[in-house]
A and B are shown apart, each in its own frame.
Chain A
């Protein structure tokens, strides 16, 4: 199927014949992810504000609700409310980034860049997976920065956060944030692909973000929640992730909690990303 030699044709014959499998699928995913991460570095302000909000929350919430543990309770506990809140904030950062995941999708569709992916000889799923890989790395990084700042505050401002599992625990929290964020990205991407509209994507994602956060154990431990919220929190994946992360900060390695958290991310992520994949496949049909 190779034409008579035209200029440069000979050099790319392997492209036409499909024998140039420079790493195949992995390479496709890698380059799609590379692009997303590169774009991120071009938007330092966006990156800053995506961290700024959770940090404000961390400070405000820990100050405002700090006296949830008042008087005697406060004196007995070896940690501050901020230590209870910290894992929730890490999850919240991931949710926020996940909610924005679809924006890029809408932008790519609007500018026609998506056609560049679709007309290239790569698998469509590589486009979605590459984007999720970049999202996951970003979310893990954000969670890491939140933890780092909180750790700095223990040294500088005397916040009492035990960090029971140390650095390995912090890495697991980062992984949890990434897993949960990637799972939740499916929703944002699916809505983005269905509506092709940034506002709609923002509305749906943000409308769901807050109920999910507050109807979970992310902000307060289970015993402090009203009964109906406690009931809902059982089917809310945010709770599983928050509980596991909280245990890692406050008490130590609770493997069953960690296992449940990752399992929740997998179930939740399979559902939402499955929906996104269907929406993605339907493009151009």
Chain B
């Protein structure tokens, strides 16, 4: 995933927003057509599935993850 933008807000800047956090991460708008390409209908599960970029958990530990920052 591309890096997200970090915005730090003071609590009074947030006004009446119903959130408790002042550090907010955001990204730019994506192209809906490209985003739709990540979704596929599955007849097996009778539902739309979103393509997974990562496994639910590390499947095996063959990689030295320290070689890659923030991965």
To the question of whether A and B form a pair in one complex, the answer is no
Q: Give residues in B with beta carbon < 8 Å to A.
A: none
